[in-house]
Structure 1
Amino acid sequence: MSDTSKSEVVAPSSSKVIGVVFVLLLLDLLGFTLILPLLPSIMDHYAQTGVGMLMRPISPCRARSTSSGRRWESPWKRSITASCLEFLSSPITGALSDGFGRRPLLLVTTMGMMTSYVVWALSRSFATFLLFRVIGGVCKSNVSLCTAIVADMPCPKARNRGMAMIGVAFSLGFTVGPVMGAYFAVADRTTGHVFFQTPALLALAFSTADFIFIWLALPETLTQDGKGFSSGFWDFRDLLNPLALFSFSAVTRSKDPPSGDRMQRLKALGRVYFCYLFLFSGLEFTLSFLTHQRFHFSSMQQGKMFFFIGVVMASVQGGYARRIQPGRHITAVRMAIATLIPAFVLIGLSWNVTVLYAGLALYSFAAAVVVPCLSTLVSDHGSPGQKGTVMGILRSLGALARALGPVVSSSVYWLAGAQICFLLTAASFIIPLCLLSTARRLKAE
């Protein structure tokens, strides 16, 4: 069969898989993000029922702003808890998918999410609510599994298109989901129900639809020949130890490890990914506090701001990012990270809302490009039976960065002020740019 004939056969299959991944991930994220605007109210709700030390405001925040202390505490704890659980579960789920296939693991994790939403809908105590968050955190591996599905595609252009569409699903999910959650919470209050009852049931409905869609529409992308556990899977130190994750030890110890040069490049890309998300997630986390303190944004104005960010990101990912040609991804990532420096300088110095939104536009462009491109670059490494492990480790490094970044950034924010926090972190983006030069040099060699 000619190359043209082969591409004609493969292209429709790749397009179908990308479409299915987009829909299933969007459904998953819509259910996951419904709770985001409700968390402060949920924390207040359980504080009134007496949950002790867990609900006390963080002292640095209380010292800086007693009115926003409790607002700061609940998302901070949520960020740490959810990210740590994802850090633990993503590499293990990815490695299991290399042995059993992507589709069975997606069905299992989606069923776990359905269970967590049932617990949330029935929760009447903080302990039950915490159980819901733990179950959801352990089962929140759908993103790494979806990236593994896209990584299974043999065509580099299809992989790039797939990673960009995963980014679009994220942007839409985090734009629409919180708005829906807030709307139905208000409706519950007017009807006298527990304010999170309908959002919890709606999350369950999205997750159930996701399970049915996976069952009916998602094909198995990992071939029978590609299935098999890497030799490092059973050594949990390779999947849970941060130092081993940075070294991608589970891939190095496998039966068919990549060559030395490719392993060095994979490690360099992992360091870039971690460093970028560590800095970015910290400023992303403190953004709403800056707008609250400096411009006195209401909840509705905050929602409009994040809606603007989501629309810009979805437009960039659906237009520019998915059309980046193979071999141009490192250049695109370098340009995007460099754009973040003036973006966060403008946000940190913003003296009016117009300047703030100019910085947010640059911020949204960069955020839409970096992670999909880095995911595409990393997906090029490893044999077919290692893609789940590779993408799971990458997602785990990202979760670790998202757990640590907000802690450090928030500490600087409350101790030194918003301006110093944003300007200092903006300058720090030189570090991932230098690390990216290492990955570029290794590619050239």
Structure 2
Amino acid sequence: MPDKWDLVLMGGLVGSMFSFLQFFVSPFIGSLSDRIGRRKTLLLTMIGNLVSTVLWTFASTFNIFLWARIVGGLSEGNVQLSIAIISDVTDETNRSKSLALVGIAFATAFTFGPPLGAYFTSFDLSTISPTLVKYGVYAFSSPALVALVLLTVEVAYIMAFLPETSNLHKGDSQKNESKKSTVGQPSMVSRNLSNLKTLNLIHALHLFIFSGMEFTLVFLTFDVFDYSNMQQGKLLGFIGIASSLIQGGYVRRKARTAGEKKMVLQGVIACVAALVMFALLAEMRSGTTLLFIGAFCFAITSGTVVSCLTSLASMQCSDDDPRLAKGHALGVFRSYGQLGRAIGPLVACTVYWAYGPVVCYSLGAICMSAVTATVVKCIPQTPKAHKTA
């Protein structure tokens, strides 16, 4: 058992390291995209991902694998740049609907990616292709080779079909600049900066709690139901698929009419409900129905909060002030989220193993209730023009 939990802890630390690196590098990637363009920056980050995967392919030692994760963490900019590109080509009336596509892709990939990787891990290249192993390819790096092929196709697709979008509205902005009155502009910039700070904080706190509680869910199912890896995978797959359907069928339709703030509120309330159910489940030591209702509430949270917070953050951006430039502002926004995602699992696991699941999920519910109150009181309202469009 000690050896097993050492491996669990090491896996958590490696995962947290990846998010910490994202916390440091995301603002830089965003600012770079404002200066040289989204397309060039995205291609640079994709090249970094390719280098990371090549290192992974030859990772016959843990040190090489760790370097692969470091390079990957410093290069991972495709999510935030995709969000910036969508913000460039949409207006406030359909931004949440379009940003939901990023969430759908993310949830779908995390649902089917790990099982696919686990499947290819079983292939021994020393028997399938001894020549590759002879030249230094690690015998069990089949998932890395598959990822390398997919990344190469993605880079080729971006080079062939993705246009530059960061300068899409600059011409219109320059034409209208002389027409805009400067009266009230400083106060508007100050208000938007304040809104962004609030959204950054809520984003960090939400992911700190949500990612931590989600990370401990596999421990809970093992403790209470003695779930196997396959059963835990099915539960997480259920959450991923449900999240994709919620984003595609509900968020894309309702965000425009209900407003992003209400969607965020629904998500954090659903998270509180899920954590209360998990605490009851841990206390009763039974109740599969509670588990899946709580998992569905988690899916609601996953499908609504981050995408709608991102949409609200993008609405505060403006090309007229460098502090509000989309790339930089959304990079900082993602940085705060990655900080929460990095620290959350470490803190949640510590509380879980020190005080038990009942205390862990009860504290999580209390903390998420505080986030809910913050959303109600502090989050900026969706612009009226957007809500009535």
Pairwise same-fold verdict (TM > 0.5): yes
Q: How large is the RMSD of aligned CA atoms in angstroms?
A: 2.3
2:308 aligned residue: 373
Show the 5 A alignment for 1:341-352: 341-350=272-281, 351-352=286-287
Report the AA paired with residue 318 of structure 2: S
The Cα shift of 1:75 comes to: 2.3
* Structure 1 counterpart of 2:213, from 274, 280, 283: 283
1:382 aligned residue: 317
Closer/same/farther in 2, CA of residues 442 and 168 from structure 1, 3 Å limit = closer
Closer/same/farther in 2, CA of residues 211 and 395 from structure 1, 3 Å limit = same
1:259 aligned residue: 189
The Cα shift of 1:78 comes to: 1.5
Which ranges of structure 1 fall in alignment gaps of 5 or more residues? 1-64, 228-254
The Cα shift of 1:154 comes to: 4.1
Report the AA paired with residue 294 of structure 2: G
SS at match of 1:320: helix
Separation of aligned partners in 2, 1:375 and 1:319? 18
Closer/same/farther in 2, CA of residues 225 and 155 from structure 1, 3 Å limit = closer
Show the 5 A alignment for 1:215-230: 215-223=159-167, 226=170
Separation of aligned partners in 2, 1:426 and 1:131? 37
Show the 5 A alignment for 1:152-167: 152-167=88-103
SS at match of 1:397: helix
Between the aligned residues of both structures, percent identity stands at 34
Separation of aligned partners in 1, 2:311 and 2:257? 9
**Contact 1:340/1:363 (8 A) holds in 2:** yes
Separation of aligned partners in 2, 1:256 and 1:154? 25
Closer/same/farther in 2, CA of residues 305 and 154 from structure 1, 3 Å limit = closer
2:343 aligned residue: 404
The Cα shift of 1:349 comes to: 2.2
The Cα shift of 1:191 comes to: 4.6
The Cα shift of 1:158 comes to: 3.0
SS at match of 2:256: coil
Structure 1 residue 354 corresponds to structure 2 residue 289: yes
Q: Residues 36-74 of structure 1, C-alpha deviation per residue, up to 9 Å, x if partnerless?
A: xxxxxxxxxxxxxxxxxxxxxxxxxxxxx5364134212
The Cα shift of 1:353 comes to: 2.1
Report the AA paired with residue 264 of structure 1: S
Report the AA paired with residue 131 of structure 1: W
**Contact 1:102/1:222 (8 A) holds in 2:** yes
Separation of aligned partners in 1, 2:31 and 2:203? 20
The Cα shift of 1:183 comes to: 0.7
Separation of aligned partners in 1, 2:233 and 2:139? 19
Q: Residues 14-43 of structure 1, C-alpha deviation per residue, up to 9 Å, x if partnerless?
A: xxxxxxxxxxxxxxxxxxxxxxxxxxxxxx
2:179 aligned residue: none
* Structure 2 counterpart of 1:336, from 267, 292, 298: 267
The Cα shift of 1:190 comes to: 10
Q: Residues 335-357 of structure 1, C-alpha deviation per residue, up to 9 Å, x if partnerless?
A: 21011111111123222222211
The Cα shift of 1:267 comes to: 1.4
SS at match of 2:226: coil
Structure 1 residue 105 corresponds to structure 2 residue 41: yes
The Cα shift of 1:224 comes to: 6.6
Separation of aligned partners in 2, 1:176 and 1:442? 36
Show the 5 A alignment for 1:43-442: 66=2, 68-188=4-124, 191=127, 196-223=140-167, 226=170, 259-323=189-253, 324-325=255-256, 328-350=259-281, 351-384=286-319, 386-440=325-379
The Cα shift of 1:397 comes to: 0.3
Report the AA paired with residue 67 of structure 2: L
Which segment drifts farther, 275-284 or 156-165? 156-165
The Cα shift of 1:327 comes to: 6.3
Closer/same/farther in 2, CA of residues 172 and 272 from structure 1, 3 Å limit = same
Which segment drifts farther, 122-131 or 307-316? 122-131
2:177 aligned residue: none
Q: Residues 60-107 of structure 1, C-alpha deviation per residue, up to 9 Å, x if partnerless?
A: xxxxx5364134212211222101110111100000000100000000
The Cα shift of 1:370 comes to: 0.4
Closer/same/farther in 2, CA of residues 83 and 325 from structure 1, 3 Å limit = same
**Contact 1:90/1:392 (8 A) holds in 2:** yes
Separation of aligned partners in 2, 1:309 and 1:190? 36
**Contact 2:205/2:371 (8 A) holds in 1:** yes
**Contact 2:260/2:382 (8 A) holds in 1:** no
Separation of aligned partners in 2, 1:207 and 1:420? 42
The Cα shift of 1:189 comes to: 8.1
TM-score w.r.t. the length of structure 1 is: 0.75
Report the AA paired with residue 158 of structure 1: N
Separation of aligned partners in 2, 1:73 and 1:409? 12
**Contact 1:261/1:442 (8 A) holds in 2:** no
Q: Structure 1 runs of 4+ off > 6 angstroms?
A: 441-445
Residues matched between the structures, number: 354
Separation of aligned partners in 2, 1:219 and 1:292? 48
The Cα shift of 1:211 comes to: 0.3
